Structure 1
Amino acid sequence: MLSPIRAGQHMLRNRVIMGSMHTRLETEPDGIAKQIAFYAERARGEAAILVTGGFSPNAEGIFDPEGPRIDDPKEAENLRPICEAVQAEGSLLCAQLLHAGRYAKIEGCVAPSPIRAPINRYVPREMTDADIRRTIEDFAKSAANAQAAGFDGVEIMGSEGYLINEFTVPHTNKREDEWGGSAENRHRFPVEIVRAVRERCGPGFLVIYRISAADLVEGGAPADEIADLARKIEAAGADILNTGIGWHEARVPTIAYPVPRGAWRKAAANVKAAVSIPVVASNRINTPELAEDILTSGEADMISMARPFLADPHFVKKAREGHADEINTCIACNQACLDFIFSDRPVGCLVNPRAGRETEFRDTPTESPKTVAVVGGGAAGMATASEAARLGHDVTLFEAQDKLGGQLNLAQAAPGKDEFNETLRYYSGQLQKHGVKLRLGQRAGLDDLNGFDHVVISTGVTPRIPDLLGVDHPSVATYAEILSGARAAGETVAVMGAGGIGHDVAEFLVTEPAEAHNTDAFCDTWGVDPKFATSGALAGDPLAPKPSRRKVVMLQRKASKPGTGLGVSTGWILRNALRKHGVEALGGVVYDRIDDAGLHIMVDGAPKTIAADTIVLCTGQEPERALAEDLTARGATVTMIGGAKEAAELDALRAIDEGVRLAQSL
């Protein structure tokens, strides 16, 4: 991973690319300054190449009305300070050229054929021959604009179901002219774009092509067509082939936590076997060890990681210096990266509040050190304690349990969410590194907190017990008891509550643990060809039913469809996983009572009894605030954060952000 590699006329300092991510920083006040801070920090972290978020080559290709373009030379020139900042730190910067095609959320979007994308309400206009040739020229002009502005190269986005990818497969290309029909015709558009960019920009300009190595949609490309396209792209002048996995409309998860680490490495290997230029593996690679294994196995020449550089911009530098254990690992939660982007917010990161907000934080030690007590060792408490100690405060952390983690210890029990182990590892190491005094197994009392300049209450939450007749029945358990293993569930289970916790508990109850850890089991569950050879790399219906360990019904009082409040980019995965395993979800439920017969409810005014061996309470949380109230009465300086401040859904994103920001403000 750390060895140099030649790509075109460039000798790269290592084999790591920071993959392209939409950041929306360009829409912010002082957008250039924020982008400079964002990219320069990751260049200091020693990624060999940084790839920007996508710039459209023309007006038709913008992802949304605010999407950035690079077809205007003056607009491109405004980006020069970003290039200079990255290059000053020793990295190369490439602008991604992305035409959204039928994914463009604008009137007048275009595509090879007028087929509406299931994730877009706009029907695209079919491109004419003149449109196609003009668009090829637009790519070449935009690449030249990037070159003139100081970029070292471009990445041409040919995957993920965007315009170029749409031309390459029958799924979206129904044309009968020279741009459709045979594979040779369907490949003509991307090949002509690469050739035009190379001719316009010359041999010293780095050209990366992002090839779809597994479309994961019906009518997608088989492996032999992908290999054929790869060879043509190499011949047209590309220096590097980066691999993309899955279309945005695919019904197979590709980068979220249910996907095993390294699940797509063999898709990259198929491409590598076809060409001699460097090939890049991507998606769900988040540790140096995994990157090293993929490279030494010969499956790829380079590694692309995007979100791991949100989580820790110094990923490569820490690995090079022998401090890989200090890397803040991406847990693939998508909460503050993709979910923020899809909600028209600038990019962020659950485990790293600085990501995308670098200008809001300081690293200089405090000039007035304080003695700080942090009560509670969950996400909020660990974030506060480690950051405060890093800045020079004298910190003592009290945790009533004999281990750190709080609610994270429950969250990591959900399928695929064992990545939270990495967050616990990271914070445990940071607490030790910065000299935080740990008081594990000690429930802090008032007297323990005398003499501290500042007391932070991060005591978290406890499960809310509803006021319901029979709630003390032996069949009833809280989500905490189930996820912690303190209680075992029976064969038929009713889950009261269909929020994030309810869905996690339901999936925990019906799926086999191997599905989130073993690539073959994952492929079997989601209908993926593990050899990535078939059309679209599919081997079956991604939504086909799967065996369930238990019969589970999930209920909620709201009349809305269960699961509507889940994450934008992960909710569909959870909902589909539960449907595949036969979980029934009921909304508009009125709870009546619990007795030996089960859970008695009313649905649409009609009584119904859910005969369940186990009834799991996922009915919210209550804050732990008693200590804070007593301390305030004594006149102590107290701040409540995390669940103690607001007992909403378990939210490590809010908890960590509040903790770090509080520590910065001390």
Structure 2
Amino acid sequence: MDPRLEPLFTPWRIGNCEIKNRIVLTSMGGTNLLGWMEKNHFDKDGARFIMEVAKNNAGLVLPGCQPVYNPMFGQWLYKNKKMYEDLKAWLPEFHKTGAKLFIQLTAGFGRSFTISGLMETLYTNKFLRVVSKPFMDLDKITATASPSPNRWSDKVPSRELTVEEIHEYVEAFAKCARLLQDAGVDGIEIHAVHEGYLLDQFTLKYVNHRTDEYGGSFENRYRFPVEIVQAIKKECGKDFPVSLRYSVRSMTKGFREGALPGEDFVEAGRDMEESEKAVKYLQDAGYDMLNCDNGTYDAWYWAHPPIYMPENCNLEDVEHIRQFVDIPVVCAGRMEPYTAAESISAGKIDGAGFARQFLADQEWVTKMKEGREEDIRPCILCHNGCFNMCHYKGVANDQELSDSLHLSRCAVNAETMQWDKHYIHKASKPQTVSIIGGGIGGMEAARVLKLRGHDPVIYEKDSVLGGTFIPASAESYKEKLRSLLAWYRRQMEVLGVKVNLNHKVTDTETFKDGPVIIATGSVPRLLKNVPGYERMIEACDFLNGAEAGDTVAVIGGGLTGSEIAYELALMGKNPVIVEMKDDLISQTGVCLANSSYLREWFALHKVPVYLETTLKEVKEGSVICRTKDGKDIEIACDSVISSAGYIPDPLDKKGAYLVGDCKNVGNLRSVIWGAYETAMKI
């Protein structure tokens, strides 16, 4: 292990509970021990994930948050005594790892509850609203401090929670905590004065306009989380550790408006001055630890940083707030281990929180500890598998139900939380398998085939492996994607996969040794019906190094086009985005944390965006476009980049398996999961 990492592996204490090292798995919905968005039960998949993390040298493990009132089916968490017995029976095996387990309890989401189109229908139809209450009472589960707009939908407003309901929640926290204590759990974390969830909504002045004992003054706004910890301490004793998930600053300008890094703005939520007071107040109320980051659902990119956010984006604020308390403080949010170790060594924080990296590779801490960092499969901060709740104009949340019920899967690791259908089993009859195309899909298929005992052989037309993932990872801020590409190339070497570079397979070339997988990807959709289209630079050509002028019209405002425009702006150029739809990044699978960052960044930096606008002609020095009202406009530019999407480009080989974009154009998740599943069939 690199000696610079040693501070991460020193012991520390939360109250009377000693933790063996400073690595903290922070909670993610979908890694739960007691069920997630389903009837409460001891969840074996969640337990398997938590056990894998504990076995691989995490110090403190926090499974996914458990609502004390289940949004699905309206069950109070303390009602099902059987699952606590199952948890108690499982915990001795967990504790053999030396890790400690805190269960995170939440009062819920309030106005941040993710609303889908189906939920809008259930709420707006009076009959359906009544009949759906037994399994989804939207009026209750979206209730908040004061009447407020939902983060996702204008059709499902949030009413004010009654005092009686608040007391009911406080009582539920205490009952659940006692059951968990009796089961052998090492502590509790309260979720959360953090990220704009329900408890946080009570503390935030732009949400809470109450005039009773839970609104108005500072003490009243923080009364709800204070009463919770006091009730738990009364029920479980003062020595039972209670952590608090906490956002130092809200970084929020108002409803559905976040503040970007470095932006000069007026804080609508909790500013640093209030936070300095709040952390001391919460400590004195009984909390034994603060597990910190920044943001709200209105500024979601702070709590769920996409790749555009800087590394360690919350660290400076958390280090500052540490000076105002005597209890330990953990920092989370795109944490980089070496920087975290340095901060811990200097006494500026006490623990480092990591989440999505554990989804990508449950063994990553062990690999880091053993000096095998190049073997760590990296998280690329895409949210495609774990948190793909997407939102754009006119659509609350365009997300598959299977995703909303199973959040914490991983785009780059098909096995995580899907062990029932994605697992390696040895082939009964090993075969030579020819793979045409050495992009991510081809390499993932080869990796799985080799692990199963087959002999995969890759044929790649270029001089290096990677395919279209090379330009896809080219932007300056995509170092994590380049790390994933390096990981795949290393896997081919470590596993001894045969690779034939500079070998372009033709339609007539035959492979008689065994099955054939085609992973030839896609080709750009060229706008040949547009006069002057030949003047455009195709997106991949630009990403591969083609020069662009100072003012660049980007045709297409999906994720690829928006990321290219962002890169152009970072380069000091002047992008202009032209998009046919009525919003940028109107596509399934792109998390609101990712898309809202880009939309808000373009607005802040005054990047011209033409929505509902169609390209008519590309001229020398300008483009002609037609707006939604039928008017033609001319936009001056030095270059034009086409990002109009891609179409499958398979070879015609009868009986071959198709994987990746040559079958259906998707995203990295669909490529990797599809390649894995295809390799399992052979």
- Please, what TM-score do these two structures have when normalized by structure 2? 0.82
- Tell me which residue corresponds to 2:559: 500
Are 2:446 and 2:679, in contact at CA under 8 Å, matched by a contact in 1?
Answer: yes
Q: Partners in 1 of 2:626 and 2:208 — Cα distance? A: 50
Offset at residue 156 of structure 1 (A):
0.2
2:112 maps to a residue whose letter is Y
| Alignment equivalent of 2:325, drawn from 262, 268, 275 | 275
Residues 102, 381 of structure 1: alpha-carbon distance in 2 compared, 3 angstrom cutoff: same
Residues 222, 472 of structure 1: alpha-carbon distance in 2 compared, 3 angstrom cutoff: closer
Are 1:253 and 1:573, in contact at CA under 8 Å, matched by a contact in 2?
Answer: no
Are 2:59 and 2:100, in contact at CA under 8 Å, matched by a contact in 1?
Answer: yes
1:574 and 2:590 correspond:
no
Q: Partners in 1 of 2:297 and 2:72 — Cα distance? A: 19
Q: Partners in 2 of 1:67 and 1:53 — Cα distance? A: 18
| Alignment equivalent of 2:81, drawn from 70, 74, 77 | 74
- Tell me which residue corresponds to 1:521: none
Q: Please say which of residues 611-620 and 240-249 is displaced more in the overlay.
A: 611-620
Offset at residue 280 of structure 1 (A):
0.6
Q: Partners in 1 of 2:636 and 2:560 — Cα distance? A: 22
The SS at the match of 1:510 is helix
Map 1:139-288 to 2 at 5 A: 139-157=173-191, 158-203=193-238, 205-217=240-252, 218-250=267-299, 253-254=302-303, 255-285=305-335, 287-288=336-337
Q: Partners in 2 of 1:461 and 1:424 — Cα distance? A: 18
Q: Partners in 2 of 1:68 and 1:399 — Cα distance? A: 54
Q: Partners in 2 of 1:416 and 1:67 — Cα distance? A: 43
2:103 maps to a residue whose letter is A
Q: Partners in 1 of 2:172 and 2:533 — Cα distance? A: 68
- Tell me which residue corresponds to 2:447: 386
2:663 maps to a residue whose letter is K
| Alignment equivalent of 1:6, drawn from 9, 13, 23 | 13
1:564 and 2:586 correspond:
yes
The SS at the match of 2:485 is helix
Are 1:461 and 1:644, in contact at CA under 8 Å, matched by a contact in 2?
Answer: yes
* Residues 14-60 of structure 1: CA deviation (Å, up to 9, x unaligned): 211211111186457998233233333323333222222222224xx
The SS at the match of 2:526 is coil
- Tell me which residue corresponds to 1:622: 647
Are 1:562 and 1:586, in contact at CA under 8 Å, matched by a contact in 2?
Answer: no
Residues 75, 497 of structure 1: alpha-carbon distance in 2 compared, 3 angstrom cutoff: farther
Offset at residue 264 of structure 1 (A):
0.8
The SS at the match of 1:349 is coil
| Alignment equivalent of 1:98, drawn from 88, 106, 109 | 106
Map 1:422-441 to 2 at 5 A: 422-441=483-502
RMSD: 3.0
- Tell me which residue corresponds to 1:38: 49
- Tell me which residue corresponds to 2:3: none
| Alignment equivalent of 2:139, drawn from 107, 110, 119 | 107
1:366 maps to a residue whose letter is A
Offset at residue 224 of structure 1 (A):
4.1
The SS at the match of 1:21 is coil
* Residues 508-540 of structure 1: CA deviation (Å, up to 9, x unaligned): 22234xxxxxxxxxxxxxxxxxxxxxxxxxxxx
The SS at the match of 2:101 is strand
Offset at residue 397 of structure 1 (A):
2.2
Are 2:578 and 2:614, in contact at CA under 8 Å, matched by a contact in 1?
Answer: no
Q: Partners in 2 of 1:172 and 1:79 — Cα distance? A: 39
- Please, what TM-score do these two structures have when normalized by structure 1? 0.84
Are 1:470 and 1:594, in contact at CA under 8 Å, matched by a contact in 2?
Answer: yes
Map 1:601-640 to 2 at 5 A: 601-603=625-627, 604-626=629-651, 629=652, 631-632=653-654, 638-640=656-658
Q: Partners in 2 of 1:405 and 1:331 — Cα distance? A: 16
Are 1:413 and 1:508, in contact at CA under 8 Å, matched by a contact in 2?
Answer: no
Q: Partners in 1 of 2:214 and 2:38 — Cα distance? A: 39
Q: Partners in 2 of 1:5 and 1:620 — Cα distance? A: 51
Offset at residue 213 of structure 1 (A):
1.3
Are 1:73 and 1:145, in contact at CA under 8 Å, matched by a contact in 2?
Answer: no
Q: Following superposition, which runs of at least 4 residues in structure 1 exceed 6 angstroms of deviation? A: 28-31, 446-449
2:52 maps to a residue whose letter is E
Offset at residue 554 of structure 1 (A):
1.4
Identity %: 28
Residues 181, 623 of structure 1: alpha-carbon distance in 2 compared, 3 angstrom cutoff: closer
Offset at residue 657 of structure 1 (A):
0.9
Offset at residue 471 of structure 1 (A):
4.0
Residues 621, 117 of structure 1: alpha-carbon distance in 2 compared, 3 angstrom cutoff: closer
- Tell me which residue corresponds to 2:419: 358
Offset at residue 241 of structure 1 (A):
1.6
Offset at residue 5 of structure 1 (A):
2.2
Residues 173, 597 of structure 1: alpha-carbon distance in 2 compared, 3 angstrom cutoff: closer
- Tell me which residue corresponds to 1:600: 624
Offset at residue 462 of structure 1 (A):
2.2
1:159 maps to a residue whose letter is H
Are 2:562 and 2:584, in contact at CA under 8 Å, matched by a contact in 1?
Answer: no
- Tell me which residue corresponds to 2:128: none
Map 1:417-566 to 2 at 5 A: 417-444=478-505, 450-471=511-532, 473=534, 475-485=535-545, 487-512=546-571, 549-556=573-580, 558=581, 560-565=582-587
The SS at the match of 1:249 is helix
Q: Partners in 1 of 2:526 and 2:196 — Cα distance? A: 46
Are 2:551 and 2:573, in contact at CA under 8 Å, matched by a contact in 1?
Answer: no
Report how many residues are paired: 613
Q: Please say which of residues 90-99 and 344-353 is displaced more in the overlay.
A: 90-99
Residues 31, 360 of structure 1: alpha-carbon distance in 2 compared, 3 angstrom cutoff: farther
1:503 maps to a residue whose letter is S
* Residues 643-664 of structure 1: CA deviation (Å, up to 9, x unaligned): 1222x25x11111111222223
Q: Partners in 2 of 1:93 and 1:624 — Cα distance? A: 49
Q: Partners in 1 of 2:151 and 2:425 — Cα distance? A: 49
Q: Partners in 2 of 1:355 and 1:362 — Cα distance? A: 10
The SS at the match of 1:53 is coil
Q: Partners in 2 of 1:14 and 1:447 — Cα distance? A: 59
Are 2:439 and 2:468, in contact at CA under 8 Å, matched by a contact in 1?
Answer: yes
Offset at residue 423 of structure 1 (A):
0.8
Offset at residue 209 of structure 1 (A):
1.1
Q: Partners in 1 of 2:215 and 2:607 — Cα distance? A: 43
Offset at residue 197 of structure 1 (A):
1.0
Gaps of at least 5 residues in structure 1 are 513-547
